[in-house]
A = this chain, B = another copy of it.
Amino acid sequence: MTFKVIKENILKANDNVALRIRQKMTQEKTLMINIISSPGAGKTALLEKIGPMLKEEGINFIILIGDCFTSRDAERMDALDLPVVQINTGNSCHIDAQLIEKSLEDVDVSAQDIIIVENVGNLVCPAEFDLGENHKIALFSTAEGDDKPLKYPLVIQESVLAIINKIDLLEYVNFDMEFSKQSIKQINPNIEILEMSCKTGQGIDKFVQWIKNNITKKEKKV
């Protein structure tokens, strides 16, 4: 069996489970988003910012955090009393749909307005794996340089929203914002782009608004 065939089979098995997850989310009117970035681009920092804001808005959510080995990011959510499920992928560089299905076994999906997946820090394979989410979101950091969209186009193609984080560092790094945005739009003309700083809080409100625009708000269960 060639590597190509092996990979096709792995993706096919994944997609069957992803389909089942998507059907369940549709049935329960629960939105699922899948946030993809390099290590250290700011996925967890973003969740630390929006988590308390979503709570304040009365939005019901749960965060699924993917990490190879540790539970460091999940502990950061715990410290803020945010609802979190840890997914350890071991030596695997991405979350697959099977892991999502398993992690949702003890979650009351019907009670959630949104399920937020923080993928493993990696711009390559996470873009290939359908987790049954409604939307993939690509997150970049200005510190990584402005050529990352061009170098990792698949994650842009697959995403509906691109977040450019760490704009507070713009004056200290080589990053041409216009070039970066043009590259992103060139790969995916329909994608929305948000500039953000999880450090200063700039742009966070726009992402919370994006979430509010995309969920189907449910009444809280009593």
* A interface residues (Cβ-Cβ under 8 A, vs B): 3, 6, 10, 38-41, 67-70, 72, 91-93, 120-125, 128, 141, 143-145, 147-148, 150-154, 166, 168-169, 172-173
Q: How far is the CA of A148 from the CA of B68 in the complex (A)?
A: 11
- 18 A-B pairs with CB atoms under 8 Å apart are A6-B10, A39-B152, A40-B141, A40-B144, A40-B145, A68-B151, A70-B151, A72-B150, A92-B124, A93-B93, A120-B124, A122-B123, A125-B125, A143-B143, A143-B166, A143-B169, A143-B173, A169-B172
Contact B172 A67 (CB under 8 A): no
**Main DSSP-derived SS at the A contact region:** loop
Q: In the assembled complex, how far is the CB of residue A5 from the closest CB belonging to chain B, in whole angstroms?
A: 11
Q: How many copies does the complex hold?
A: 2
Residues of B within 8 A of A122 (CB): 93, 122-124
